[in-house]
Amino acid sequence: MNRRNFIQIGIASAGAVSAISGKEAMATAKLGNTHHADATLIEATVADLQAAMSAGKLTAKALTAQYLARIKAIDKSGPRINAIIELNPDAPAIAAALDKERKTKGARGPLHGIPVLLKDNIATFDKMQTTAGSWALVGSQPSRDAFIVTQLREAGAVILGKTNLSEWANIRSSRSTSGWSGRGGLTKNPYALDRNTSGSSSGSGAAIAASLAAVAVGTETDGSIVSPANVNGLVGFKPTLGLVSRNGIIPIAHSQDTAGPMTRTVADAAVLLSVLAGSDARDAATQEANARKVDYTQFLKVDGLKGARIGVVRPNITNANDLVASVIEEALKVLTAQGAVLIDPVELPNAGKYGRTEFEVLQYELKADMAAYLAEFVPQSKIKTLQDIIDFNDANRTREMPYFNQETFLLAVKKGGLDSQEYIDALATNLRLSRAEGIDQIMKQHRLDALVAPSGGPAWLTDFIKGDNSGGGFSSAAAVAGYPHISVPAGAVYGLPVGISFVGAAWSEPTLIKLAYSYEQASRQRRAPTFVKTVNPQI
């Protein structure tokens, strides 16, 4: 990812300088006189980049080249965070064509010439592969772009590459290590290289935190956008189910899957969501999307918290790590200072009561949805069913299962069809407990605009033997309900980022953007990573 106009900036702290080569530091430069005079490649926003291109101080081709140089210096050498699984060889040519178009016709919109990264479960019909991090799909060319990729291309975005992920979006095993895939290896957290990136949008999180591109697209079933955003100091936005098409995205479960923005600012998330949202005839869930979508940048209101009624999900703070709880208490003070009315405490009804039925639904839908994706997007592949993936993993155990197995796949493949009564009942239970008797109930009871809680704990030490140790999160209620959820940087614990989550009712993206932006502008908690090897608190 990239931006600037030829003045050295180095890495944002002395701790990072030792990890980055002098050549890389010289390749990073200031953007010039944009609306933030000190904007640099490291933390430049989409607006910064557009201002520089509009002023003739930067081109998309130069920007793309600069991001590629930064990827080479930081992702493939230096700290080697390993966020990028594949680069688009046509990106420079695409950027050059967009520069020519800008000169002759003007910019298409705010993403014109902006390099974007995609999670490697989002299909692209180009020279890149789409594999979900698995060797099983290597060599299988998708038959067309995913719908959201078409949206991005039409908006003038430069598809820079694909990001690594927790293989198969972390559904293969309950004992997995997030951020690892057979094809991509391990993605490291840029805030401490021995810490985990969370998942499953691991590479998207690490890459944008490290400024390897302007913005990225992640996907979520339950926590896969907001959790890596939390531990990588980002804004992660999981939209309402049906606002963004899933067609062309390697699935887990259609009742919960969605794509969404992963960015360094709320403003960039609003720009990206405005492009991603839209109805798609191939995704029935998006039937209302065109009627619901708007230009989300109109809701970037500094005073967006004034008068807002926000429910504080106090049990999630009480049960959090003490250091995380302290960060969130400071965030609540910011909300109050900006005019929000805090309803504290509130308790989310039925939280935690649908864990078993959620897992049942995911297994049923994984089996059916995976077969449908393979048939539609890679019909030439020998891999046609979940059983074929299982067989491939067994035959390639050394490179596919060196650390953990595939017990969730084995459970899912034994399930029946989507007409099974067990599945129908489980899905109905999930929706009832998470919607009408969950988020809807508490928001109606207290006349709330949103719920807030810690997004999760700080990044844990990566451990291939024991697997993940992620601690409590706040993703499941919104994930199961299909409701929007945005995580925003709230502070840090010994340099490890911690986020605060805003969750709302269905289609409440405008409200959440107002609240999140107002909080972000008042708190200013986003910090660039320093690529330290480890965190060593002084006692």
- Catalytic residue IDs: 119, 200, 224
User: Where in 95-241 does DSSP place strands (E)?
Assistant: 115-119, 158-163, 180-181, 185-186, 215-220, 235-238
Is there a contact between 257 and 368 (Cβ–Cβ < 8 Å)?
no
Answer yes or no: are the C-beta atoms of 332 and 491 closer than 8 Å.
no
Kind and range of the H or E run holding 67: helix 60-70
**Structure tokens of 254?**
């259609």
Cα–Cα dist 101/90, whole Å: 17
Helix (H, G, I), strand (E, B) or coil at 462: coil
Query: For residue 104, which phi and psi values (nearest 5 degrees)?
Result: -90, -35
Helix (H, G, I), strand (E, B) or coil at 260: strand
Q: Which residues contact 509 (CB under 8 A, 6 or more apart)?
A: 237, 239, 240, 243, 273, 296, 484
The burial class, CB within 10 Å (0-12 / 13-18 / 19+), for 419 is: exposed
Phi, psi (degrees; rounded to nearest 5) at 50: -65, -40
Q: In Å, what is the CA distance from 59 to each residue of 71, 82, 103, 111, 113?
A: 18, 27, 11, 13, 8
User: 82: which 2 tokens?
Assistant: 């390993």
Tokens of 521: 């502008």
Distance CA 393, CA 232 (A): 30
Question: Euclidean distance between the first and final Cα of the chain, in Å?
Answer: 38
H-state helical runs in 277-378: 289-292, 314-318, 322-337, 355-377
Q: Map 376-396 to HEC letters.
A: HHCCCCCCCCHHHHHHHHHHC
- As beta bridge partners, residue 485 has 238, 503
Per residue, the 3-state secondary structure of 237-257, as one string, reads EECCCCCECCCCECCCCCCCC
Token pair belonging to 500: 């605060």
